[in-house]
Amino acid sequence: MVLMETLFSQGLLGTPEGLAISGLVGLAFGFWLERAGFGSSRRLTDIFYFRDFAVFQVMFTAVVTASAGLFGLSALGLVDIDSIYRMETFLWPQIAGGAVLGAGFVVGGWCPGTAFVGLASGKLDALVFLLGVGGGILAYSGFHTDLVEFNASGDRGLSTLPDLLGLSPGITVGAVAAVALVCFKAISVFMKSRSAAEPQA
């Protein structure tokens, strides 16, 4: 018997109650992003210059925590995974969108979520970035009808990592956690070697 329901499974995502709960979750998420240092564009872009891997470590930790939590709750029968909204996979438009988002991240120093955090912290560059995002959305909407075929290309339906790898959810979660630990260890070794190579003041 499933004991925990989601807003999606209950059809409450678009209701005033659902919007209020989503707003509170968003505020909490933004608060912890700021606490993690994601309210600074310099901190965010440092990962691209191999100076600070905090963004990678925090986000990878979040992925592992969320996947392990969902797997555990599902295994206990407390959550039905199918009751959670999952976006369908369309390979080519999502790869293109990821490339555009990544390029914008490097150039602008923000992603849309962290830009709102920066804006709440009074960062002017975050406001400029969000204005650019808004302009990009308006520009895309003007070409949307011409991109219908491309937007539907590479349709994989509700594709998940366990499906892709042909592994059980439990083994997949364990494998992702193991990859995270290896990456974190490699980052630690790299940062120590880089620190040792820097000239001492």
pLDDT tens digit string along 114-124?
Answer: 999 999 889 99
The amino acid present at 174, given as its one-letter code, is G
The per-residue pLDDT for range 44-75, each reduced to its tens digit, is 889 888 999 988 998 899 999 999 999 998 88
**Sign (positive/negative) of CA torsion 13, 157, 64, 130?**
negative
Cα–Cα distance list, 193 to 43, 65, 198, 199 (Å): 20, 29, 9, 12
| Residues 6 or more apart whose Cβ sits within 8 Å of residue 111 | 44, 101, 104, 105
From its phi and psi, is residue 166 left (phi > 0), alpha (psi between -120 and 50) or beta?
A: left
Ranges of H-type helices in 40-168: 41-45, 54-75, 91-108, 112-120, 124-143, 148-151, 161-165
Which of 107, 90, 136 shows the shortest CA–CA distance to 45?
107
Asked if 149 and 139 count as a contact pair (C-beta separation under 8 A), the reply is no
| pTM of structure | 0.79
pLDDT for res 116: 92
The per-residue pLDDT for range 100-143, each reduced to its tens digit, is 999 998 999 998 889 999 998 899 999 999 999 999 999 999 88
Q: How confident is the model at residue 200 (pLDDT cuts 50, 70, 90)?
A: low
For the cut 90, the answer to whether the pLDDT of residue 159 exceeds it is no
pLDDT for res 81: 82
Asked if 83 and 5 count as a contact pair (C-beta separation under 8 A), the reply is yes
